[in-house]
């Protein structure tokens, strides 16, 4: 049975847009999931140490994997795509997080779903609201668009125009 999953992807090293597009291609071609929706690209100031700003997107996908298998797959994908462990909140070639897995609530070592910071991060809320505004957060019991509307977060997050790219016959919005 296919499970709906929402993932955030971000990059602030090298060609940020290309890193994200490469990650999308890898995810789609690896048969981990079928990517259904891709948000626009957004640029956001980093959290933590002084570094370059991030490009971020959110995707909706369908997967047969269980949540812990998906997490393991994502960690392996990040490594294959060039991510290496450095300092907490440091620069990253690619960062992929599980935001939502169906409507499940998961609290286990190394995996919390929904992601515990969804409601605090505009770089997640804005693109997630763009592709799944009516999705009801299973813990907060609010639509994603409602959570976004209620927020007066100060972290700057703006849409970035990216050259049209085709991923498995789906165009990235710009």
Which residues are designated catalytic?
Answer: 83, 92, 95, 97
Cα dihedral 147, 152, 153, 157, rounded to 10, equals 80
**Residues 72 and 111: beta-carbon distance below 8 Å:** no
Nearest to 96 by CA among 119, 120, 80: 80
> Three-state DSSP class for 92?
coil
Closest CA relative to residue 165, chosen from 22, 29, 9, 42: 22
């Amino acid at each position: 049975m296919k499970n709906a999953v929402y993932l955030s992807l971000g990059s602030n090293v090298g060609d940020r847009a290309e890193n994200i597009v490469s990650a999308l291609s890898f995810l789609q071609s690896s048969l981990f999931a079928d990517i259904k929706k891709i948000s626009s690209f957004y640029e956001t100031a980093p959290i933590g140490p002084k570094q370059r700003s991030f490009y971020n997107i959110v995707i909706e996908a369908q997967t047969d994997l269980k949540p812990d298998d998906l997490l393991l797959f994502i960690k392996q994908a990040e490594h294959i795509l060039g991510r290496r462990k450095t300092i907490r909140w440091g620069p990253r070639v690619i960062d992929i997080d599980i935001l939502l897995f169906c409507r499940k609530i998961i609290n286990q070592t190394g995996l919390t779903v929904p992601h515990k910071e969804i409601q605090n991060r505009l770089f997640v809320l804005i693109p997630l609201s763009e592709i799944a505004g009516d999705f009801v957060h299973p813990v907060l019991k609010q639509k994603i668009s409602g959570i976004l509307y209620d927020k007066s977060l100060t972290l700057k997050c703006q849409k970035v125009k990216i050259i049209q790219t085709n991923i498995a016959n789906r165009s990235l919005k710009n």
